[in-house]
Amino acid sequence: MAGARCARRHGGPCVSLDVASVKKDFPILERDMAGHRLVFLDSAASSQKPRAVLDAMDHYYETTHANVHRGVYSIAEEATQAYEAVRSKVARFIGAPSSRGVVFTKNATEAINLVAHSYGRSCLGEGKAVLLTEMEHHANLVPWLMLREERGVELRFLPIDDHGRLVLADLDRTLDGVGLVSLTAMSNVLGTLNPVADIAAAAHAAGAVVLVDAAQSVPHAVTDVVALGCDFLAFSAHKMCGPTGIGVLWGREDLLEAMPAFLGGGEMIRDVRLDGWTPNEIPWKFEAGTPPIAEAVGLGAAVDYLTDLGMDVVRDHEVALTAHALTTLAGRHGDDLRIFGPPDPHDRGGVLSFTYRDIHPHDLSQVLDSAGVCIRAGHHCARPLMRRLGVPATSRASFYVYNDEADVDALSDGLLAAADLFSI
């Protein structure tokens, strides 16, 4: 990737992303969609993969693959090194003090389940409360609903205002009796960026630990777990240019040390006898069975790719593109278009949920698909939030490093085509 970094920045350090050049890194964007180019506006669900990631995984399988932490032979040692090197790389990427707190999971959902299961069942129970928010993804709701059913833990929810921002006026009072706060850093529906550091400080003052669902934020902005002040952070590789099948739980080492194991099996043990077992050290204590090795290699390549672009540059690009989209879509479609979430692009990520006239999101998505434009339609795994917004479903366009103003125009044109088809 040497040199590519400069090619993507116009003259001098860190100005803007050269999206035309970035697009060339993603083979899928060359696909023909019945005469249209592929306009991918669903990266909040899963991002596309650059060639560097695909090549890294192929190369690993073609030259290195063996199981990790087992063989004594060369390729097994190389595979182990490759796998563990990604742990260190991920730690640096999120500002973690060491790689010992980086646990590889299947995805962000499993990472949250790990905390709910292990920390939840050992440290939370009747008389303790878990504080969530009204804007959480099902991944950060259902594990806690399960814990409530099993252990009688009380669930509380921070409300949102009509612009999709958390209402924090009562935060200190709400935190009384709370053992754990779990919230999204960025809403997958509204794009809202939450003041995680402030909430974490208040939570710690009240004696609670803080888990951050960072599935939507890690791919799009600089992440620093120390600055955030959180105790756990969960995210997935597949939303940040990496492969499916691998996610990350970062946790404070003292907490991870004290927590019981999650899944049982090989790798997570130090010793097994017929009458018992001894757990491995962290982070391996939480990694039962053969891990997703090639996927870890892919995640490492994705971290390199994003680091090369510069996460600050990625964020600036998305703020600019979101600002452009908010302005031009509102200008062209007026009251026909209702966009949810904070109006200021600096308060949100590149996620636009909207309704357009009275056209159902499914129909809108279908019409856009016929022009090669991929958007998400539905409840976005956030049914409680949909109820709060008073809509059964929304359409959602989400941006990433390979999107530009022409993609926003394609979306905008598609809306008018849908209006033509469905107008009464």
Partner 1 sequence: MAGLEDLYREIILDHYRSPRNRGDLPTPPAHRVEGFNPLCGDEVILYVDIDDSGRVTDIKVDGQGCSISQSSASMMTAAVKGRTEVETRELIRAFKAMMSIHERGLDGDVNGDGGPVAPDPSVDMGELEALRGVVKFPVRIKCATLSWNTLVQAFDEAGPDRTRD
DSSP tag of 348:
B
Write the interaction track for partner 1 spanning residues 369-408; mark x where CB under 8 A is met and - where it is not: -x------xxx------x-----xx---------------
Determine the Cα–Cα distance for residues 22 and 12; give it in Å rounded to an integer: 18
Q: Does 63 bind partner 1 (CB under 8 A)?
A: no
- Of 324 and 357, CB closest to partner 1: 357
Strand positions, DSSP E, 100-139: 102-105, 129-133
- Of 303 and 418, CB closest to partner 1: 418
- Of 157 and 422, CB closest to partner 1: 422
What is the number of other CB atoms lying within 10 angstroms of the CB of residue 320? Answer: 15
Of the candidates 156, 204, 357, 360, which one interacts with partner 1 according to CB under 8 A?
Answer: 360
* Residues marked as catalytic: 381
Q: Coil, strand or helix: which one is 328? A: helix
Which of the residues 267 through 326 are near partner 1 (CB under 8 A)? Answer: none
Q: Coil, strand or helix: which one is 186? A: strand
Q: How far is the CB of 394 from partner 1 (least distance, A)?
A: 10
Of the candidates 252, 361, 389, 395, which one interacts with partner 1 according to CB under 8 A?
Answer: 361
- Of 85 and 416, CB closest to partner 1: 416
Q: Does 424 bind partner 1 (CB under 8 A)?
A: yes
- Of 169 and 424, CB closest to partner 1: 424
Q: How far is the CB of 188 from partner 1 (least distance, A)?
A: 16
Q: How far is the CB of 373 from partner 1 (least distance, A)?
A: 13
Q: How far is the CB of 406 from partner 1 (least distance, A)?
A: 22
Q: How many residues does the chain have?
A: 424
Q: How far is the CB of 278 from partner 1 (least distance, A)?
A: 44
Q: How far is the CB of 162 from partner 1 (least distance, A)?
A: 21
Contact status, residue 212 vs residue 185, Cβ threshold 8 Å: yes
Chain-centroid distance, C-alpha 222: 13
Of the candidates 367, 385, 401, 415, which one interacts with partner 1 according to CB under 8 A?
Answer: 367
Of the listed pieces 96-104, 260-268, 346-354, 364-372, which binds partner 1 according to CB under 8 A?
Answer: 364-372
Q: Does 362 bind partner 1 (CB under 8 A)?
A: yes
Among candidates 363, 368, 396, 366, which has minimal Cα distance to 381? Answer: 396
Rg (Cα) of the chain, in Å, rounded? 22
> Where would I find the H helices in 40-195?
51-63, 74-93, 108-114, 120-123, 142-151, 171-174
Of the listed pieces 76-84, 138-146, 336-344, 355-363, which binds partner 1 according to CB under 8 A?
Answer: 355-363
Q: Does 101 bind partner 1 (CB under 8 A)?
A: no
Taking the alpha carbons at both ends of the chain, their separation in whole angstroms is 53
Among candidates 224, 245, 248, 236, which has minimal Cα distance to 188? Answer: 236
Which of the residues 7 through 46 are near partner 1 (CB under 8 A)? Answer: 33-34
Tell me: cis bond preceding 283? Omega within 30 of 0 counts. yes
- Of 30 and 150, CB closest to partner 1: 30
Determine the Cα–Cα distance for residues 216 and 380; give it in Å rounded to an integer: 13
- Of 300 and 361, CB closest to partner 1: 361
Q: What are the C-alpha distances in Å from 44 to residues 191, 238, 278, 296?
A: 10, 10, 40, 20
Contact status, residue 307 vs residue 53, Cβ threshold 8 Å: no
Contact status, residue 86 vs residue 297, Cβ threshold 8 Å: yes
Q: How many residues bind partner 1 (CB under 8 A)?
A: 18
Of the listed pieces 37-45, 281-289, 309-317, 359-367, which binds partner 1 according to CB under 8 A?
Answer: 359-367
Alpha-carbon torsion, ordered 322, 327, 329, 330, to 10 deg: 130
Binding footprint of partner 1 on the chain (CB under 8 A):
33-34, 360-363, 366-367, 370, 377-379, 386, 392-393, 421-422, 424
